[in-house]
Structure 1
């Protein structure tokens, strides 16, 4: 990693929303932990206690999955019609291609996702990226800004799709309007599933402050790198930094089509209900491009 790599400093740790829970664990949580063979002391709380997507609700998940499949097919019909007006992309039509690398940092908290946990500190992988405006409003009008990253893993290319959100609860589950890409944070909005539970990924801009207009953004990122810190967290837990990303203007056509459902980072899974909700529309739009 270059000596110009910015030092990590998580300003969000000062916010109460990002602090780990400190209340005593409830009897119900203790009983659940005991059944799983774990012991939870009075001073500990499971990360999943306040999980907005609590595990173990099989019947609810089944009902949600069936409902999501119906809604997903409806979304597919809508997204097939939108490109007639906004070809070729119904959402995120205005994009800015990026190139760079991801550099793993020393870390002491595992996520359960191999791509996050397994690389050694100092290891790097190349990546491509795309910065986009979801609604497609012209800058400097505020929009939901998206950041897609395509990483080259030993198992093949994998996509991470992030959008402008907050860091704390509940704002990490909320899309936010912004006029410029940096400063700000980007989140996965919906947690991945892993062998250790549900995992969210956040990208936090470290600098520099970036302009809103694409032409100015291109000039800035040809001269200097945009540094972003990647972190993971449980849905209600604190953020744990695991990597730094440097991004520059790619100087190539805007052709990247991210699909985090089909190109998952190694060790991660999409919730079945969310896959049923989103994948039909993704597949329909991408078939329409061929």
Structure 2
């Protein structure tokens, strides 16, 4: 018998395929910018060893708008972050959601990145149970793709939480745009994949993988 999450995953992939027919390169998160910076982990008690240690890692990131609506409209904000750990790439994908329960399980639209609360939406599997990751801007709102200032410095605080529990600070992220030869903010063809490039020591639940694997496989084509 097919698992229900596999069926839902196939339905999502079907809808994704329709969009891909019109946007073959990037069906979603079409508008984005390339960023670089540093991930600082200050220690936590999440049950994920990598997250619970101290580390300072260089990162490459992409800030994007999911649906590709006109820039003046709100859109789902996405932040993909890549770093090297254990000689392999690790990708963390965050999207704009609510911050409290139950809103942290629903996508929300915003005009700029600074007002958005970004979460992993789906939990990771830690030694003590399910763990959500989240980030929020501290300081100046950097804008959004197509409105991101070339001189912007985007500072975020990082958090972890159980699905129904409070957020606990565990680090920070500082990002700046990567400029082209003309000093302009640029996008990147780089693709991020949390299923192929998993976070170190963070396991995935079978149901979260089944929900996403069909769409991600289609996106790689």
TM-score > 0.5, shorter chain as reference: yes
How many residue pairs match? The answer is: 215
SS at match of 1:68: helix
Q: CA deviation at 1:68?
A: 1.5
Name 1:229's counterpart in structure 2: 157
Name 1:131's counterpart in structure 2: 63
Residues 1:260 and 2:208 are matched in the alignment: no
Name 1:102's counterpart in structure 2: 39
Name 1:152's counterpart in structure 2: 84
Q: CA deviation at 1:253?
A: 4.3
More helix by share: 1
Residues 1:85 and 2:22 are matched in the alignment: yes
Name 1:189's counterpart in structure 2: 121
Q: CA deviation at 1:78?
A: 3.5
Rounded to whole Å, the distance in 2 between the matches of 1:250 and 1:114 is: 31
Task: Decide whether the 8 Å contact of 2:195 with 2:209 is kept in 1.
Answer: yes
Q: CA deviation at 1:155?
A: 4.1
Task: Decide whether the 8 Å contact of 1:187 with 1:203 is kept in 2.
Answer: yes
Bigger mean CA deviation after superposition, 146-155 or 200-209? 146-155
Rounded to whole Å, the distance in 2 between the matches of 1:286 and 1:212 is: 26
Name 1:66's counterpart in structure 2: 3
- TM-score (structure 2 length as normaliser): 0.90
Task: Decide whether the 8 Å contact of 2:64 with 2:145 is kept in 1.
Answer: no
Name 1:16's counterpart in structure 2: none
- TM-score (structure 1 length as normaliser): 0.70
Bigger mean CA deviation after superposition, 193-202 or 261-270? 261-270
Task: Decide whether the 8 Å contact of 2:78 with 2:96 is kept in 1.
Answer: yes
Moved segments of 4+, more than 6 Å:
none
Name 2:96's counterpart in structure 1: 164
Q: CA deviation at 1:82?
A: 2.3
Q: CA deviation at 1:130?
A: 0.7
Rounded to whole Å, the distance in 2 between the matches of 1:163 and 1:253 is: 18
Q: CA deviation at 1:284?
A: 1.4
Rounded to whole Å, the distance in 2 between the matches of 1:160 and 1:212 is: 19
Rounded to whole Å, the distance in 1 between the matches of 2:136 and 2:145 is: 20
Structure 1 pair 212/157, CA: closer, same or farther in 2 (3 Å)? closer
Gaps of 5+ in 1: 1-62
Rounded to whole Å, the distance in 1 between the matches of 2:17 and 2:220 is: 10
Residues 1:115 and 2:50 are matched in the alignment: yes
Q: Which has the larger radius of gyration?
A: 1
